[in-house]
Structure formats: C-alpha cells, structure tokens
Structure 1
Amino acid sequence: MLFNPVKLFLLILLAIACVKVEAQSVVCNGSLGDPVFKLDFGSGQGYGPPLANGITDFIYDQGCPNDGHYTIVNTTNINPANGFGNCHPEGWQVVTHDHTGNPNGYMMLINASPDPSRFFTYKINAGTLCQNTKYEFSAWVFNLIFQAHAGPGVSEPDITFVITNANGDKTTYDTGSIPGSSDPEDWRRYSMLFSTGSGNNEITIEMINNAPGNNGNDLMLDDIEFRPCGPTMPIGFTSIGDNIAKDVCTGETKNFTIVSDVGDDYTDKSLQWQKLNTAGTWEDLPGETDAKLIVPVKDNTPIGIYEYRLAAAEGTNINSPTCRTYSQAITIRVNDFLAKPSITAPPACEGDALILTANAPPGTIRYEWSGPGVTSANKAQNPLIIDNSTVADIGDYHVTVFSAADCPTPSDNVRATVNLKPVIPVINPAPICKGSATILNETTPNAKSYSWLPVTGLSDPTSASPAAKPAETTTYTVTVTSNEGCTATQTVTVTVMPSPEASIEPKKKIFEGQSVVLDAQASNADTYLWTPADGLDDPTKLNPTASPTDDITYTLHATSDIGCGTALASVFVRVYKKIVIPTTFSPNGDGLNDYWDIEALSTYPQSSLNVFSRSGQKVYSSIGYDKPWNGAYKGYVLPSGTYYYVIDLKSGAPLLSGWVLIVH
C-alpha cells in the first residue's frame, strides 16, 4: 500500500487526544435500558431522505454515491433506471434488506473517501445522560465488497468508535478489519462501553473510517444505538429463571410473586417495577421498589395480557429514563373461557363402535370426557370412540374443553344409546335329496328385513322363510336388520344328499368250479341286494363272492335309506366248462372210439385247434369244435402214430398243448 500522509496525520491526532484506547469487552453483558438515541434510517420505497445536518460530513447522493458520498436505500439492487442498479455490479454484494430482514428498511450506504475520514457524528447534550452510569454504543455494519475481490490492494472497512466527554476526554474502540463475505446476510454488530463518571453528562459520538477508499472500504450501516448498560437482572415467578407466561381464567383469584436478583454493579442500587399499559408504554408501579413484586389477579380483572419488568439504576438516577436498565418482561395472561361445546352422539349397535364427537369451539387444545364408557385410555380423545360397545355403555356423557390457558368449559349432558343386535335362532334343517326342497324358517324378533346369500336355489332371498332347493350342499348366510338399523348374521347349511350310484365291469369270466368277487362300486347308498342270489356267498354285501356253475347275470340294487332312490348295476359271469382231452382214439370204423372226442371244447365257439404230425405238418385245423376229428387228412385216414396238438380257447387262458395217439 502507498504511504498516505493524511491518514497518518489523523491517526497521530487521534492518539494524542485519547485518554485511553483499549480493546475491552465491548458487549454489555448485563441488562440494557431503552435507547437514549436510535438511528435506524426509517423505511420506505426507493431512496430515503438525507440525514439531518451535523450527523455526517459526507455528501448525500440520490443515486450511486461517489467516493466520500452516501445514500439511503433499502437495497443495493435499485432499478438501473434510477441510476443505481449498475453501480459496481462486479465489486459490491447485492443486499436486499436491512439487518432485521425488513425489505423496506432503509440503510446508510457509504462510499468511502480516498483518505481516512469521519463519516458519523452525534451529540448528546447535557441533562440527557446520568453521572456514574455505563452505556453501550453499537452499530450494525456490512462490508459491501465481495469476498472474492478481497486481497492485496483492496481495503476492508476498519472503523474507530470515539466518544468524547465535555472535558475532551476520549474513549475509543476499533472494530479492526471488517471481513468480507460471500453471504449477503452477513451483517455484523459492533459495540463499545462508555462510563460517564462524575460530572460528565454531555458527550459526542463519532465513527471514523480508518482505511482508505478508492479500492474497497465501502459499507452499509444500520441501527445505531446508545443505551444504558447495567447489571444482570434475572427475574422469575417465585424462583429466578421461571419466565414462562402464567395463565389465569377470568373470574379466578390468584396472586403471583415475581422475584429478581439484581447484580452488584451499582453502589447505591435503586429498583422500580413497571407495568405495560394499554397504550403500549411502560409505567411505574407506585411504591413497588423492592426486589419482589406481588401481582394480585382478582375475579374482576379484565381479560388481557399483563406484562411486568424491573428497572434499576444508580441511586437517584432511577428517576431518569435515560439512566435505567431493565429486566426482560414477564407475562400474566387473564383468559376468557371457550364457548360451550355441543356433542353429536348417533346411536350405535351392540358390538360396534360408539362414537361421540365434541363440536369444540376455536381455541380448544384439550378434551376431557366423562360417562359410562370413558376410560383412562380414551378420555382425552375427540371423537370419543368406545370400541365393541355394549349396553353397559348406555348413559349420559359430557365433555369439558380446555383452552391454551387450561380454562375449562363443560358441555351439557348427552344421552348415548347402544341398540341390541337381532338374535337369530340357529336352525339345522334335515338333509334333503337332490331335487327336493326345504324351508329355512329364520323368524327373528324385532326384525325389519332379511337378506340371504347366495341366492342360488332360494325361492325369495328377502323372505324370513324361503324355500331352498340347491343342487348341492350349500351354506347360506342370512343378514337380519332390526327396526333400529342393527344387523346380525347367521349361517344355515342345507345338506343335499345325491342319488345312489353304482358301477361294475359288465363281464366276468371263470372256469367251472372257480369263484369271482363281484367288485362293484357304489356311493350315496346305505343298503345293497344282488339278484339272483344263486352262487353268491352273501347277496346283501356290496362285493359278494360268486361261484356259479353256468353263465349268469347278477344285478346290484344300491338303495338310499333316506329315500333318495336305488341304483342298478349288472355283471355277466361267463362260466367256462372244464376241458377233458383224450390221449388216444382208433378211427377204424368199428363204431368204438372212432373220434377224438374233446369234452366241453364245443362250449368255446371261438377256440382254435391245430394238429401236427411228427414232422411238423399240419394235419387238422378247426374253429370251434361242434364236430369231433375223425383222424383223417384230406379224406384219407392217417396212419397210426403220435400227433401233436395246440388248443387256443380264446378265453384268455393259457394255450393247451400235448400229444394224441391214433391206433388202428
């Protein structure tokens, strides 16, 4: 940075004039009083008016300020048509509101002069301040320079606060370099403390920009205040720290005790309790100068919000508003009762939920129910829901509603009703045969209507006693509605017994002397009878054993004992006769044993017989055996000897084979 002789000269003068220059704790750690003065620059649209004479040596511009000039704005983003929107767009932050967030709040925008200079002065005349009193001076500051543009050759704002008393003694505080930021909300509060001492009650406050302008050192200023600073003054209801607002319901009588614990900053401590009046200003409570305040709330105290605070000062300084410091305010609220709620309680049916709804007035935050069905689990509900209601829940109910102040307002009593559900008799109709019908007689006391499902097979699904003729076993559900609108259901099963069924393979085969089981199958039958009974071991069994001597047809009669009919199934038993094959015959024409007479072979009309010579030549063949073989082949009698035969009975029996001897 280049040497600046003007800045050096100002700093030398400042050092010579100051009694003390210190980086003390600059924040009031105790209580603050109301501002002796406060400059917040007002609010509005567009540019604000210039400051009063004597407050600044800078020149006012209604537009983009030049070096050593200032303007009053509510944003740095004024429309370019006003000559400000394009002012340093690359170097300055865009600030859209004052430090409180008010988009219309005015701020002082300062474009620093090329040399260090004083840009704020304010004089507080004699008679305004009190002796031996500590004050806090503060201001909100914003560095307009983009953080990205900071660096060598760019100046950051550096402000010295100077307070000069009537004797010329000075107290100073230097903010140091105020850093830039990338955050357009980065307002910073800087403050210093000042004590008047004895006889010093006239002061001049100044703010001096120590850094040069031209490149940087541009800033925004807002909410400049000078306030009394006193000891810590915690207060509370009955005990220190209990600052939660207290509520009273109108018509109640109650006393509140507010206690305080004022620090030891004052050598001759004076106290005064205050109350906020209806005009919005604080007024002293006569005679209330102790550390404790008793606040009576009577039954005729008007509804409203009552706030109290404690003022403290050094000795007789308590009589000057510019010397007092104050505790935080503490609140007592006198609250009105809510309007009386009404209750909606439609009747419920037994087993269903009984629901009572409080039509509560605005401001209700809590409910408390009373009545037969109220429990600890549901008493605070709205609506009040009583699950699975019974006749024990019938009775009078009321609800008390509470406001935020816990003021109770009870409702009138409302009668809740629980109606009984219909009692439907249980019926068990006898089984019916398929194609038959039965009457479902469900006459229920106090019934208004009936509804049957499914409707299949019913003569009238809305009747109390419909005729049911289902094709198969069916369970019906009847819903009965009482005259009070309550419903109940019951089920009825109609068992349909189907007609008997019977089956068996239509043919059986046995050889004479053998037996066979008649393996019939039957369903839905209770008794059985086979006809004829010839050759059966038990004609009343479903599967008797048959031993017939001749071909026979048996018929099964499968009967339902409940009258659902008889099923028939027949089987033909083929009885094959026993075959007796002679081993020799003599076809010599003497009339004795001239034929090969195979006994019973004629009973097998589909059988085949083949005879072969020893050389394998077929010498005889027949289908069936109606005429025995005479031992000839092609009209000539075969010579004596052994011949071989094969018989196929075509009955599924094994082939019969062997030899036969022809003897002449």
Structure 2
Amino acid sequence: MPFNTIKLFLVVLFAFACVQVKAQSVVCNGSLGDPVFKLDFGSGQGYGAPLGSAITDFTYVQACPEDGQYTIVNTTNINVNNGFGNCHPEGWQVVTHDHTGNTNGYMMLVNASQDPKKFFTYKISAGTLCQNTKYEFSAWVFNLIFQAHAGPGVHEPDITFIITNANGEKTTYDTGEIPASSDPEDWRRYGMLFSTGSGNNEITIEMINNAPGLNGNDLMLDDIEFRPCGPTMPVGFTNVDDNATKDVCFGESKNFTLVSNVGNDYTDTRLQWQKQNATGTWEDLPGKTDRQLDVSIQGNTPVGVYEYRLAAAEGNNINSPTCRTYSQALTINVDAYLDKPSISAPPVCEGDALTLTANAPGAVSYEWTGPGVTADNKAQNPLVIDNATVAANGDYQVKVFSAGDCSTPSDKVRATVNLKPVIPVITPAPICKGSITILNETTPNAKSYSWLPVTGLSDPTSGSPAAKPAETTTYTVTVTSNEGCIATQTVTVTVKPAPEVSINPQKKIFEGQSVVLDAQASNADTYLWSPADGLDDPTKQNPVASPTDDITYTLKATSGIGCGSAFTSVFVRVYKKIVIPTTFSPNGDGLNDNWDIEALSTYPQCSLNVFNRNGQKVYASTGYDKPWNGAYKGYVLPSGTYYYVIDLKSGAPLLSGWVLIVH
C-alpha cells in the first residue's frame, strides 16, 4: 500500500480512575532511518478524506464526532449545527493546528467507543523489512480533555501498541494514561522498539485502547511513523563535535574532512556516505563506505547548498533503504557574493548626526571604515555618528557580508560635515529712549538672517538692522549659512530713560550735627550738589551735610549717555545749641538780673513754663524774645529753686531742669 494512502484510526475509551499515570515512552536513542511508512493525514482545507474500512470499523463523519465516530480535520473548530465552533466545548480543548504547527495540517479527531477494543491494524509485508534490524514505532497524541475537567469518573486515553512477527511472537508497549493538560500545545510522542531478528521480516501492527468510553478518552492523533533504529552516529567536520554549517564563497577552494563515530550495535557494520542532489533526493556516493569522507569545493563549484550524511546497516542490509539508519546531515554552503553596495551620505551640519546608509540587499553584516568609524559603530547600518564634527569629514567605505560571510566592498563615498555659522558677539552701547542703534552682525558665509522679536527693528531679515526698542530688549538672530547650517546668537539693547531723582524736601539737625542727603536716583551716572557748603563730597549721590545755618541744597543728576538731567532740592533746618543758665539774681543791680537762655530766641514757636516747688506755674512764654526777670504778676519772686520745661517745637526731646533765683 502506498505510504500516503495508509490510514490510521485511534480510539481512546474512558476508565474510572482518579490517579493519572504518565508512561515512559520507549524510543530510539541512536540513529533513525527514513520511514518505512509515515502517516500524517495530509493537509488542506475543510475535512480530510476518510480512512479505509481495512484500517478501522469506526464511522467517518464530516461533523463533530460522537461516540464511535471520527473525522479528519485541521482544527477542532469545525461545523457544528450548520455553524462553526469547538467540538464539545464543555469538556474539549480548542486545537487549531497539527503537532508541527501547520494550521492546514490534518489530524485524526476521535470520539471513543463505549467498549475497549482493537482499533488499528496494519501489516508490513515480507520484502519491506530487513532481518536482524531494530525498528521504532511512534505516534503523536493529544488528550482533548481539559485538565480542569479531568478527575474522578473522567478517563484518560491509555493505548497498547502490539507488533506480531511471522512466527506469532508479540512485542507490546503500553502508554499508560495520557495526562490531561491546560496547554493546547501539549502534544506528546509515544513509541516502542521492535527487532525483526533472523528470518522475520514480516509484521503486523495493532493498537488497542484500554480505557472505557462515554466520559473522556477523546483525543487527536498525528504523524505515525515506523522507522529503522540503529547505532549512534555522530558526524562532524574534522571531529564529531564540529557539525556546524560550513560556508565557502564562490570562487574559493576549500577541502573538508567529514568524520564519524559509529556505535557497535551491529555485528557486521556497513557504511555508505550520501549526498543530497538538486531535487532533494539522497544519492549514494559510489565507493564512499569508510568512516571518513573527503569533500573538495573548487573555485568553479556552483552556488548552492551541499549536504552529506552517513548511512549504516547490518551487513548486506546496507543495500536496502528500509534497513538503513542515517546520521544528521552536514551542510556546506557555497555562497554568492553580494552586489556592490551603494552608500548614501547626505551632508550635515556640525553637531547633528552624520548618517551613512549602505544599500545592500541580502547583507547580514557590515564593516565600515572612515574617519568617524569606531569600534562601537563600525558594524552598524546605517552608520550613525552622533554630534558630528568636521573631524568626521572624509572618505568612507563599507564591506557587506552575505550569510556565508562573503564580503563585497563598496566604492568610497565622501561625507561632509559643514561648519555652523560663527556669529560674532556684539554688545551695543546703551541708548536713550527714542534713540536708534545699528545691530551690525556680520557673519562670514551667511546666506540669511532672521531676528526675533521684530519689535523696534527696521528689517528683521537684515544683517545690520536699525533697532529702536521702547525698552531694554534682547534680540535673537538666527543665521543660515550657504550650506544650510544654522546658528543663533543673542544681542541685548539696553534702553536708558531720562534720569529721575527725589528726596524728602526737609531735614532738621541741631547745630554741630550732620545729616545724609539720601536722594533716590535712577538712570543717572553723575551727581552734583550745590551749594557745596558743609558737604563732604558734592559729587556723591548721598553726601553727608554738616551746615552751621539753615540751608537749601539742590541736586543735579545727569545721564552719562546724554539722556538729560533731573533736579531735586532739600531744605536743612539747623537748630542752634541752647545754653540754659542755672542761676540769676533779679535784684536791680544791673548784673545778671535776667534769665538769659542763649539761642532760645531762634525757636520762635517754642514754649517755656516755670514752676515753684509746689507745682504752681510762675512763668510761661511762647518764643523767648524777652528773657524772664524772675517776676510773677509784677512781683519779684523770692530766692529759691524753680523748675522749668522747654518744648522747642522742633521734634527734639523736651528740655527740663531747675534754676536758682538769688537776691
């Protein structure tokens, strides 16, 4: 029977068990041969074809199968009640592809029968198998039951594989319970080993489910294989530990030695090296039957993939493809050189990123050379040089490498980093409000200027605009060079208004005291007080004044850049020093008859009150133009001590004390 028409049907029935048991799968731990048969159910859209009645007596349906039914599908989301949805969503997981991940790959979806029974039989006839050869039988199985749905009363699949030879001798393997899982990718591979022995080259394969149906025991099945199993056969280039793909660039010549280390499973080990041809078919290399193979790649060897493997078998079985096992393939790639890459390198301005891009379809790596290339960026594409300076100017080249490490160099390309404009720093002299100054920014290689803000400027696109701001203003000029590079600079125009000055208009001091003329001034650069009498420095803004008499001072505050002058005045009142005698004798002898208080007459608003020791006021005056003669109501007061209080009405503290009248 042709392999692509072999049909396999697996039924899993339910068992009443609470404990899940995972059986140890018995698989080949050596090398495997090409499948004697392989059943993967094919691929396509919709439902796959039914299996033959010689394979199973279960019923094929193009719908969600019920007990004792099966279907061939690529997903459990199949037609249900004339719509699409998951089969038995109350208990089955959603499976959307076969175990290889192919969304079109068909699988066998089985809903178990109620009674355990044999569900698969296949006979491999004499002439297909070889004597004294070990084979592996395996299949991929997926338990459809949700892990959360598993438990008491729900039965997991449990399958027995039976292989019977022509003498009726049986070899069996039991998977044990195949556990439920919460992972929709949890496909599991189960297998067994079988040896034909001497004179036995015909077998029958059977599969029996050991679990009852009705509740659980439902599954998906995929990729069933029967393959020769032989010794371990590690192979490599020069040594068996080096089996990585080797690359040769077209036009190069290289020699390789392929070596092997074949195990001792056979009593008469025979070997044969093979090479895969252009159609993907493996062909024997005549006479290459040693453990070592020499392979020579010449300069004219066409571009392509060259694969080699070693076959092994027992004695003359080496002549039968169904008896051989094979090593892994060793690969030599003859790689074409890539087309010469082109490089784009637009000019940039200093401080920007210089970017060079290699256009090289198929390149897997890059190696740059040039002034701005470093160990960190030489393998980049695009090559990016951040904050580029003119030191990065120059020729650049890139080697591009194919997947086989074949390098192709580009032509050299010149990269240019242009200088930004160098804008001179200017500091205009301060101007008076209403005046004009010229902002003369003469920048070499300048293509255009742009000033902001535009307020007060005659032409904001000129290199030398006239500026007449109403107040101090900082302008920013943006200069663009002929190469399109941009720089900025700031210029501050200081506007000085006319001077302003002020002072409290009156100061008061006593004779012999000093006072600071604390004038407040703005926008003034020079000061001059007049008259200069009594001033420590008439050119100071706040001189110290020590006048001996009342005086008015006038300040002239002047702008140093010609923005005018301002004036203010202050009157300084100088109170004379008061000298109060402590005794006088009003006896009419013409000597010291009056109480003469020196300088009191200079305080015309002052008040003077005199009291006797009983507190009786005996004298009072406003001003002191006429001294007191010691009389009270026309009578001379008797000798004794009298008390006075003087208020100068100048803001000064009261003066008080005593005076003695002596006759």
Amino acid at match of 1:638: Y
2:224 is aligned to 224
1:641 counterpart = 2:638: yes
Q: Which moved more, 1:310-319 or 1:190-199?
A: 190-199
Using the TM superposition, give the Cα deviation of residue 170 of structure 1 relative to its aligned residue in structure 2, in angstroms. Answer: 0.6
Q: Quote the Cα distance in structure 1 between the aligned partners of 2:555 and 2:506.
A: 14
Deviation per CA, 1:410-447: give whole Å up to 9, x if none: 33332222333334444455555666554333323322
Cα distance in 2 for partners of 1:41, 1:405 equals 37
2:366 is the alignment partner of 1:393: no
Aligned-residue offset at 1:175: 0.7
Seen in structure 2, the aligned counterparts of structure 1 residues 552 and 311 have a Cα distance that, compared at 3 Å, is: same
> Relative to 1, partners in 2 of residues 1:48 and 1:480: Cα closer, same or farther, differing over 3 Å?
closer
Contact kept? 2:585, 2:662, Cα under 8 Å:
yes
Give 1:105's aligned amino acid.
Y
Distance 2:402 2:376 in 1: 21
Alpha-carbon deviations, 1:178-229, whole Å to 9, x = none?
Answer: 3452456655443332323333323333334566778877766544332211
2:158 aligned with 1:161: no
For 2:413, the aligned partner's letter is V
The answer as to whether partners of 1:525 and 1:558 remain within 8 angstroms in 2 is yes
One-letter amino acid of the counterpart of residue 481, structure 2: S
The amino acid that maps onto 1:305 is: V
Gaps of 5+ in 1: 1-22
Structure 1 residues 278 and 521: alpha-carbon distance in aligned structure 2, compared to 1, 3 A threshold: same
- Scaled by the length of structure 2, the TM-score of the pair is 0.79
The residue number in structure 2 matching 1:125 is 125
Taking only the aligned residue pairs, the percentage that are identical comes to: 70
CA offsets per residue over residues 60-107 of structure 1, 9 Å max, x none?
Answer: 45488898x664433677545499999988787776665545565142
Q: 1:494-517 CA distances to partner (integer Å, 9 max, x unpaired)?
A: 5667766665543333445x2424
Deviations 1:311-357 (A, max 9, x none): 222222222111111112232333334344332222223x3235233
The separation in 2 between residues aligned to 1:280 and 1:49, in whole angstroms, is 28
3-state SS of paired residue (1:610): strand
1:640 shift after superposition: 4.3
Whole-angstrom CA distance in 1 between matches of 2:154 and 2:539: 127
- Equivalent residue for 1:107? 108
Deviates more, 1:596-605 or 1:322-331: 596-605
2:514 alignment partner AA: V
Identify if the C-alpha distance between structure 1 residues 580 and 587 changes in structure 2 by more than 3 Å, giving closer, same or farther: farther
Hey, what's the Cα distance between the residues in 2 that align with 1:468 and 1:360?
Answer: 52
The answer as to whether partners of 1:306 and 1:333 remain within 8 angstroms in 2 is: yes
The answer on whether the counterparts of 2:163 and 2:194 sit within 8 Å (CA) in structure 1 is: no
Match of 1:280 in 2: 280
Aligned to 1:207: 207
What residue number does 1:331 align with? 331
The equivalent of 2:310 in structure 1 is 310
Counterpart contact for 1:40–1:107, Cα < 8 Å? no
Query: TM-score by structure 1 length?
Result: 0.79
Partner of 2:603: 604
Q: For residues 550-583 of structure 1, what are the alpha-carbon distances to aligned partners after superposition, in whole Å with 9 as ceiling and x for unaligned?
A: 3322334455666565554433233334556675
Separation (CA, whole Å) in 1 of partners of 2:602 and 2:409: 111
CA RMSD, Structure 1 to Structure 2 (Å): 4.4
Distance 1:632 1:454, change over 3 A: same
Q: Distance in 1 between matches of 2:84 and 2:597?
A: 142
Give the letter aligned to residue 609 of structure 2: N
- Is contact 2:26–2:191 with CA below 8 Å preserved after alignment? yes
1:163 aligned partner, one-letter code: T
Offset at residue 156 of structure 1 (A): 6.0
2:29 paired with 1:29: yes
Please report how far the alpha carbon of residue 606 of structure 1 lies from its aligned counterpart in structure 2 after TM superposition: 1.0
Look up the SS of the partner of 1:316 in the other structure. helix
1:273-327 deviation digits (Å, cap 9, x = unpaired): 2222333322222333222233333444333333322222222222211111111
CA contact (8 A) 1:143 1:178 kept: no
| Cα distance change, pair 482–190 in 1 and its aligned pair in 2 (3 A) | closer
Give the alignment of 1:80-91 within 5 angstroms.
Answer: 80-81=80-81
Which residue in 2 is equivalent to 1:12?
none
List aligned pairs for 1:128-147, cutoff 5 A: 128-141=128-141
Rg bigger for which structure? 1
Structure 1 Cα separation of the partners of residues 204 and 389 of structure 2: 85
2:236 corresponds in structure 1 to: 236
Change (3 A) 1:519 1:162: same
2:645, 2:252 → 1: CA distance? 130
Q: Which moved more, 1:103-112 or 1:92-101?
A: 92-101
Task: Assess if the C-alpha contact under 8 Å between 2:272 and 2:312 holds in 1.
Answer: yes
**Aligned partner of residue 404 in structure 1, secondary structure:** coil
Query: Are 1:365 and 2:364 matched, yes or no?
Result: yes
8 Å Cα contact 1:343-1:356 kept in structure 2: no
The 1:497–1:206 alpha-carbon spacing in structure 2 relative to 1, beyond 3 Å, is: closer
Confirm or deny: 8 A CA contact 1:155 1:213 kept in the other structure.
Answer: no
- Counterpart of 1:516, as a letter, is S
Encode CA deviations 1:610-644: one digit per residue, 9 max, x unaligned. Answer: 344565444543323456667777xx623543565
Distance 1:556 1:323, change over 3 A: same
Shift of 1:164: 1.7
Q: Partner amino acid for 1:164?
A: N
Q: Take 2:436 and 2:79, find their aligned partners in 1: how far apart are those partners?
A: 95
Q: Identify the residue that residue 355 of structure 1 maps to in structure 2.
A: 354
Structure 1 residue 236: deviation in Å? 1.8
Assess, with a 3 A threshold, how the Cα gap between structure 1 residues 108 and 285 changes in structure 2: closer, same or farther. Answer: farther
Contact preservation (8 Å) 1:510, 1:575: yes
Equivalent residue, structure 1, for 2:374? 375
- Residues 422 and 444, structure 2, Cα contact 8 Å, conserved in 1: yes
